[in-house]
Structure 1
Amino acid sequence: MWDTMDKPTEAYTYEPLPPPSQGRTIRLLVLDVLTDEADDENAPLTASIETHPLASAPPYDAISYVWGDDPLDAWLPLTIACRGKFSTVPISPNLDWALRRSRSHVRGTSSRIWIWADAVCINQTDIAERSAQVAFMGAIFSSARRVFVCVGDPPTEKADAAVAKLVKVATFLQNAEPDEAGEQARITADVLLHSRVSWWTALNEFLCRPWFKRVWVIQEVGLAKDPLVLYGRKSFGYRETMRTVSWAGTQELMLYGLANLLIHSEWPDWTLTKSERTFYDLLDHGSMLSCRDPRDRVYAFLGHPLARRQDSSCEEDRPIIIPDYSKSLGELYLEVTELCLRMVGLRALVAVEHTEKSLVDGYPSWVTRWHINNKRNNILHLPKQLFAAGGPDHTACVPHIEGALLRLSGAIADTLWRCFQIQLTGIDSPLSVNSPFGISFLNNARDPATYVGLVDMTALLTSENTLRMYRDAPTLIEALAVTLCGGIPRDLSSQIPVQGLLQLMSPSAMRRLQLDPTTLGSTSVLMYLRLLAGKCYGRVFAVTEMGRYCLVPRLARPGDEVCVIRGIDVPFITRTDGTRRVLIEEAYVHGLMQEEAMDMIAKGKLVEQELTIQ
């Protein structure tokens, strides 16, 4: 095409789409595919743009990719042919890679390919159009013939081939027939997987690619018929890859340190209609993902069936929230929080996180700011954790909203006395028994404040008022071990936290505490460190005035209240400033996780009151 025209210099001008009242309409990029003899790597991208009703659009492929943070002057021109004239649309280097890789994938089968890519097919400068298209983005991806998951080139040579081989072998291993031949093949494959450390290293590199951190991709692959990963020069199934990641987490292979991709591994297929989870759970699991516009932390999930409601006056279902980019972030978060409180009850408050700035941003403290991500996991982590701090009846307290006020029923069970910052060493890298890892605590009582090791911290605790709750060293160690990992998951032995913590001490230190260092296994510390990494990140260790051990938000400070709310499974940290009580975040408080506060209320040892959160 370049031989028959001059290089275009004019920017492409979008023609308005028909109004939404006339039905769903999309633009499609018609990308020219080169012949087998052409230089596919360096040839310019040329295309045209067509407009089609979604219901009658030609078979098209949708691209799932990362926009990237490249400056605009690094963007590349995409040549668009329209009515005999040529103009350009600037596209990011990542989209340029995705279009070239998609083009090469179909080369030899067609002279052109219909592509849907958001940056080109939506006029990004038209807020009304952008809002309207986002409202049915899920339908765009679910209607696509294929969805190409464009991850980019691998960071190391041949890593793409290693991941493709690993997924193939692991998929075979999971599907092996239970007969004799199948068992022999399974053993062979199992040995192969455990011996190929380079494969697992390559998989971890793959899972750390920017694509996995983007919020929009969850919807894009979740609604796809069969998403196909394009990684380097290789291609393989996305869902097979996620099944491999989930399966590896149940094996010793978890010790290779695979990236934590809960949102990907637990929500890989949105086409499955039955789910015990809710739209709130989807938002919560996706809160650590990134996006350019923080409103997309909500809008990016509206294509999920859990986010749809049937309108009796219309044949098409509608999202439970209508995308509106003219709405402020605070207005959107308030709307979503009120919706989640109606949807799942008081459990919705578990997602609340804060910074010092957000506590004074003018919006109620009980509103979830989905762009604030201080922690990796909630203390209330269903279904593996089973707490009942506020009693077993989740309907016992109905949230009552009056403007900016949230009225609840509960009790102030304790007050924070001292807080210690936690420092974890070597836990985010692949673990082995020889890894340099550890845990230390910032002792603010020293001048200057310094980090102390686990043994010194234990000695400090035995010399202070915590012995009111924990009378001897073994009891103290057990309480400390369980608190630091935020409780014991139901599928884990109750001895793992204690054994894991003890292995972080030297044998001589254990003997000084009258503990037996000879009863430990090497696996315990690795499993325990994984629990620490999941729960200590973004939190601090605290001791209350009553001597209880806690895992509390980093924002917490001495004098903050330990609040148990009727109907919520975990305690919360609240702060009273004059007449205003604000909600800080959920917490783990040893000795208050299983109805103890409710029992004290029943016995008259605690006073239940109306708690007004602002």
Structure 2
Amino acid sequence: MALTASPKVFKYHSLVQADSFRLLLLLPSPSHDSDLHCHVLYTTLSQCDRDIIDQYTALSYVWGDPSNTGSIYVDGALVTITATLDAALRDLRDASRVHRVWADALCIDQSNLTERASQVGLMAQIYSIAHHTIIHLGPLTSEAETVLRAAPSNTSGTVAYSRDLVDVAEQHMLQAVWFTRVWVFQELVLSRDPWVQCGNLRARWTDLCRMLLPSAWKQNSKELQVLADMNSNRGPTRLKFLTLLTSRRGLGATDPRDMIYANMGIASDLSSLLRYVQVDYRKTCDEVYESVARYLLENIGPGGPTVFFPHATSSELSKQKDLASWAPDWSLPASNLVEMYKDNNARKLHLDSKAHYAFVGQPLTLAWVGYEGDVIESFSEQLPDPASLNNKERIAYQAAITKLKGMYSNIWWSGDESGQHQHVDLRGKEEEHEKLCRVLNHEWLQILGKELPGPQAKSSKEDMKIEENFLGCFGKWVADRAPQQLIMAGSGSEGMASLMYTHLLPQHIPSALTGRRFAATKAGRVSVVPRNVQVGDLVVQLAGPLNALVLRRDPRPRNACSAREIKTALRKLNEDDSIQPSLRAEAMARIDEMAIKNCTLVGECYVDGFVGWKLKENYDCDIYALR
């Protein structure tokens, strides 16, 4: 019996030097359909940077469906690759010359987590040293050919702006998956000379942008906006890490950790970030995201928590089931909620957030001193975007608003130790004012009780009861406010009055109520809360310049030693001489007496009439241990 030779297996050799990397020597073929062959060249970035003859091309592409495969012979061994890489290499292959190419799937040993992390750390240099970068969008369609052939790099001169050409690009080429993937931003921004290629036809990135993004390009085009944003970041100015994460969150990444790693190399604050996060594929996604959250909270600037906490709210539930509630899941799209309303007139204690919280233990717990302000007892349906409410057709309501605004022409201010206060003189108009306020109240009761999905749409009797309880509380609350001579409309309105007025404006503007709920509290206040609120959730004011937060009691068992760790860490904050004593709450001297309450973060809230950390108030503080 004849013996059959075992197929040759490709094996990676180790990368020895700090800047070692691999290149593919893509062998030529006059036939597009012939088998792909290459050799692997072991070299260094410093050698390639000095080499003015044998330069390499970096490939930027989308990995695609791993079950849809192609193949290439690497040093004689058959290696399976994704179909997208197979197509890109065929389109790059020259008919007669060897082509030096860097492609991550082959040039990095993906099974070696240590090497993978090291090479990801070099990717900024890999793309910046490459003589060219080829952005491979896929096969050449007739529409892509129309756009690419019109680019100056494929013509003898400058091409005039064409609306038809832009429409073709917008509807076809710019719809490519490449524009939605997280890694490609770094690859583009750092590339010396990027080219866009479909099939075997290519054009310079800069030429395409000049052609498709003239000064008059239509601002409402999502595709052109993405192109413009990517192009604008190719300059020498680098963005901060939070800005990069915010603008790119929710984009495609096979590994959710790459939402972090793909943005690190182009962040202006990379040196600070590296003290908290390093590229390491041995760490879980939870560990990476929590380390990033710690970095952002401690380095975001004076606004600190006020800027940070809104990012922890997403439009979807996190897929990372063990991720801390205070750590944003950057693999999910942003919630797109309007910034929560803030009262700016009350005088408050000025407290430094950093004097009142500490990260302890593994997994990380965020321990923060604060006090409980109220408890959620019932809540409404989620409030829709104002555009769906047909506000222009609310004739009686809009007429009442117009009359009320006419009454508020003589607003005046006063101030005392608790803050500034607005007043309006309604002498002789009290009855008319109250009547108009009742028109406003009736409209809101109609919206909440009849226009939104009501209790009949609820999935359980408990849900129905929660909604009914809220409508009763809300009806009493608005009825009590009607005779109080509050400013209920216009730019002088404040708090809930301002939020409700803005939401029902006939001209649609972004509203802080959209995507949130109204809630009634134990103290009889009406509040604006996250959509995933539950009965029994706490309204808590943590120390610092924060909005009130909704927290949820966490019944999960915690490590017994964590209580000691938490109090030890918080006591050390009292020894920090860099924090002015006046910016530290008096309660910090009583750390040992405080109870530790295990909670999770639900999100920011606004409670009408509730002012945190008022002057000359004594607060019964606790430590909120957040996971």
1:113 partnered with 2:99: yes
Alignment match, 2:456: 446
SS of the residue 1:14 aligns to: coil
Q: Write the mapping of 1:398-413 to structure 2, written as runs, cut at 5 A.
A: 398=355, 399-403=357-361, 404-413=364-373
**1:294-317 Cα distance to aligned partner (Å, 9 max, x none):** 22222222322535439xxxxxx9
CA distance in structure 1 between the aligned counterparts of 2:347 and 2:294, rounded to whole angstroms = 21
CA distance in structure 2 between the aligned counterparts of 1:243 and 1:323, rounded to whole angstroms = 36
Gapped regions of structure 1 (runs ≥ 5): 1-7, 174-184, 311-316, 428-438, 451-459, 489-493, 504-523
Distance 1:201 1:257, change over 3 A: farther
CA distance in structure 1 between the aligned counterparts of 2:147 and 2:235, rounded to whole angstroms = 29
Name whichever of 204-213 and 56-65 sits farther off.
204-213
Contact 2:551 2:603 in 1 (8 A): no
Contact 1:570 1:586 in 2 (8 A): no
Alignment match, 1:219: 186
Alignment match, 1:23: 18
Distance 1:245 1:586, change over 3 A: farther
How big is the shift at 1:544?
A: 3.9
Structure 2 letter corresponding to 1:54: L
Contact 2:10 2:78 in 1 (8 A): no
How big is the shift at 1:358?
A: 7.2
How big is the shift at 1:117?
A: 0.3
**1:151-186 Cα distance to aligned partner (Å, 9 max, x none):** 2247x7415534886999xxx99xxxxxxxxxxx9x
1:350 partnered with 2:310: yes
Distance 1:426 1:350, change over 3 A: closer
Q: Write the mapping of 1:125-136 to structure 2, written as runs, cut at 5 A.
A: 125-136=111-122
**1:57-77 Cα distance to aligned partner (Å, 9 max, x none):** 241111111111241xx3111
Distance 1:602 1:391, change over 3 A: closer
SS of the residue 2:268 aligns to: helix
CA distance in structure 1 between the aligned counterparts of 2:326 and 2:536, rounded to whole angstroms = 20
Q: Write the mapping of 1:355-394 to structure 2, written as runs, cut at 5 A.
A: 361=322, 364-371=324-331, 373=332, 375-377=334-336, 379-380=338-339
Distance 1:100 1:609, change over 3 A: same
Alignment match, 1:96: 86
Alignment match, 2:576: none
Distance 1:164 1:100, change over 3 A: same
Alignment equivalent of 2:72, drawn from 75, 78, 92: 78
Work out which of the two has the higher radius of gyration on C-alpha atoms and give 1 or 2: 2
Distance 1:246 1:358, change over 3 A: same
SS of the residue 1:158 aligns to: helix
Alignment equivalent of 2:219, drawn from 254, 261, 266: 254
Distance 1:259 1:604, change over 3 A: farther
CA distance in structure 2 between the aligned counterparts of 1:200 and 1:415, rounded to whole angstroms = 53
**1:410-434 Cα distance to aligned partner (Å, 9 max, x none):** 454555431423567999xxxxxxx
Alignment match, 2:124: 138
**1:589-608 Cα distance to aligned partner (Å, 9 max, x none):** 3868xxx734x723759877
Distance 1:62 1:466, change over 3 A: farther
Alignment match, 1:597: 611
1:550 partnered with 2:528: yes
Distance 1:208 1:89, change over 3 A: same
1:64 partnered with 2:60: yes
Distance 1:102 1:390, change over 3 A: farther
1:288 partnered with 2:284: no
Contact 1:542 1:551 in 2 (8 A): yes
Q: Write the mapping of 1:150-229 to structure 2, written as runs, cut at 5 A.
A: 150-153=136-139, 157-159=142-144, 161-162=146-147, 193=163, 196=164, 199-200=166-167, 202-203=169-170, 205-229=172-196
- Using the size of structure 2 for normalisation, the TM-score is 0.63
CA distance in structure 1 between the aligned counterparts of 2:528 and 2:79, rounded to whole angstroms = 55
**1:220-274 Cα distance to aligned partner (Å, 9 max, x none):** 11211232222456544546767999988xx782344548749x81685366245
CA distance in structure 1 between the aligned counterparts of 2:371 and 2:182, rounded to whole angstroms = 38
Contact 2:135 2:195 in 1 (8 A): yes
Alignment equivalent of 2:296, drawn from 332, 340, 343: 340
Distance 1:321 1:475, change over 3 A: same
CA distance in structure 1 between the aligned counterparts of 2:104 and 2:351, rounded to whole angstroms = 42
Contact 2:196 2:204 in 1 (8 A): yes
Alignment match, 1:575: 552
Contact 1:245 1:265 in 2 (8 A): no
Contact 1:28 1:51 in 2 (8 A): yes
**1:129-158 Cα distance to aligned partner (Å, 9 max, x none):** 22221222221112111111222247x741
CA distance in structure 1 between the aligned counterparts of 2:482 and 2:147, rounded to whole angstroms = 54
Distance 1:207 1:562, change over 3 A: farther
SS of the residue 1:17 aligns to: coil
**Count of residues paired in the alignment:** 492
Distance 1:112 1:241, change over 3 A: same
CA distance in structure 2 between the aligned counterparts of 1:152 and 1:265, rounded to whole angstroms = 22
Determine what percentage of the aligned residue pairs are the same residue.
21
Alignment match, 1:177: none
SS of the residue 1:351 aligns to: helix
Distance 1:551 1:53, change over 3 A: same
1:325 partnered with 2:281: yes
CA distance in structure 1 between the aligned counterparts of 2:152 and 2:458, rounded to whole angstroms = 52
CA distance in structure 1 between the aligned counterparts of 2:169 and 2:202, rounded to whole angstroms = 15
Alignment match, 1:467: 478
Contact 2:326 2:626 in 1 (8 A): yes
CA distance in structure 1 between the aligned counterparts of 2:144 and 2:385, rounded to whole angstroms = 30
Distance 1:477 1:465, change over 3 A: farther
Gapped regions of structure 2 (runs ≥ 5): 49-53, 389-447, 461-470, 556-595
**1:388-423 Cα distance to aligned partner (Å, 9 max, x none):** 799897845443223244233445455543142356
